[in-house]
Amino acid sequence: MAKRTKLEWAEMQNRQEKAIEHAAEVLGVLPAASAPIDPLDIVKSEKPLLRAMGADFRDRFDGQLEYHPAKNRFLLFYNTKYDLRALPGEHHPRTRFSMAHELGHYFLASHRAFLRRTGQSHPSKGEFLSDRIIEAEADAFAAGLLMPRDLLGPLVNEGDLTFSQIEEWARTFNTSVTSTARRSIELSDYPCALIGLREGCVGFSFFSRGMIDGGCYPRSRGSDLPAQAKPKWQGFLGGAPMKAEGQAFAREWCQTYENGQAESAPVYEYYFGVPSMQTLLVLLTIPEEELFLNSEND
Ligand SMILES: [Zn+2]
């Protein structure tokens, strides 16, 4: 079981890292990328093969990429329904993420080949909600495109990771708190994780390399919550303003192995409610010395 979890994690991680690398290459075509990245600048650089069109598609999809063989043209549709909540002349972080996600389907070779072969349109919805590997790849591409390592990485590793920092970066990069938190975990040099609680259980997890190296792996999607997290979830459902903190042991949030210290390592929990996504985010951090005996000698 342990072995399977590790292999699965490594496989998913590998595919997502490749998607992120590809996003960095794509960004390289822009003269000088600075935050916030405009995904429509990337669309323009692919003219005339790619065109983008925005409209209020209500609940049909957040984004969709189509291939039209007669004109040899890809059409990227994005739903502007969230833009009502954006500043005038700007797109809402969710709209921007949808654009970037569809760009992932356009740029990632196997996605594009599939679309060309089948002509099949591809409706995409939401952030990180799909299990399908290609959706996870497109999400990784989007996060990498909107929050490049060169720009966000140094900020993340400057100090302790907190939601107030993440909110500030979300404003700078014009990205959602959820996707900024996810990307911060990826870029962190320290043991930390982001867990999204949905429908009363674990909906998604992102673990930093430091967590994995320390023997802490994500629990599978749909896993039960630790006892002390349940009242937090109930409070969130009841509409409580959700910015709480807590403490637990690593074994309560993670599958631990190959490190005797991991199981009983203390975990600091920071909760952040996202009512529009019906998601309660939990940021987990573990002090490095609790996982690695000689971390000061590294
Ligand atoms: Zn998609």
Distance 177 CA to ligand 1 centre (A): 20
pLDDT at 82 over 80: yes
Distance 288 CA to ligand 1 centre (A): 36
Give the model confidence (pLDDT) of 108-128 as tens digits.
998 888 888 876 656 665 544
Which pLDDT does position 129 carry in this prediction? 45
Which pLDDT does position 297 carry in this prediction? 46
Give the model confidence (pLDDT) of 168-211 as tens digits.
999 999 999 999 999 999 999 999 999 999 999 999 999 999 99
Mean per-residue pLDDT of the chain: 90
Which pLDDT does position 289 carry in this prediction? 94
Distance 138 CA to ligand 1 centre (A): 6
Distance 72 CA to ligand 1 centre (A): 21
Indicate the pTM of the whole model: 0.91
pLDDT at 298 over 50: no
Q: Which residue has the higher pLDDT, 139 or 116?
A: 139
Distance 267 CA to ligand 1 centre (A): 33
Neighbours of 180 (CB within 10 A): 28
Which pLDDT does position 113 carry in this prediction? 86
- The structure tokens listed for 16 are 């997502």
Distance 102 CA to ligand 1 centre (A): 6
Distance 52 CA to ligand 1 centre (A): 15
Distance 277 CA to ligand 1 centre (A): 18
Give the residue-averaged pLDDT of 219-239. Answer: 93
Comparing CA positions, the residue from 249, 264, 266, 261 lying closest to residue 294 is: 261
Distance 105 CA to ligand 1 centre (A): 7
In a 13 Å sphere around the CA of 115, the CA atoms on its Cβ side amount to: 26
Distance 149 CA to ligand 1 centre (A): 22
Query: Which range (197-206, 236-245, 250-259) has the least confidence?
Result: 236-245
Distance 122 CA to ligand 1 centre (A): 6
Query: What residues have CB less than 8 Å from 155, skipping those under 6 apart?
Result: 165, 169
Give the model confidence (pLDDT) of 23-67 as tens digits.
999 999 887 789 999 999 999 999 999 999 999 999 998 999 999
Amino acid making up residue 54: G
Distance 134 CA to ligand 1 centre (A): 7
Exposure string over 192-210, b if 16+ CB within 10 A, otherwise e: bbbbbbbeeebbbbbbbbb
Distance 218 CA to ligand 1 centre (A): 23
**What DSSP letter does each residue of 107-145 carry, written as one string?**
HSHHHHHHHHHH---EEE-SSS----HHHHHHHHHHHHH
Q: Quick one: what percent of the chain has pLDDT higher than 70?
A: 93
Distance 18 CA to ligand 1 centre (A): 17
Distance 256 CA to ligand 1 centre (A): 32
Distance 125 CA to ligand 1 centre (A): 7
Distance 186 CA to ligand 1 centre (A): 21
Distance 103 CA to ligand 1 centre (A): 9
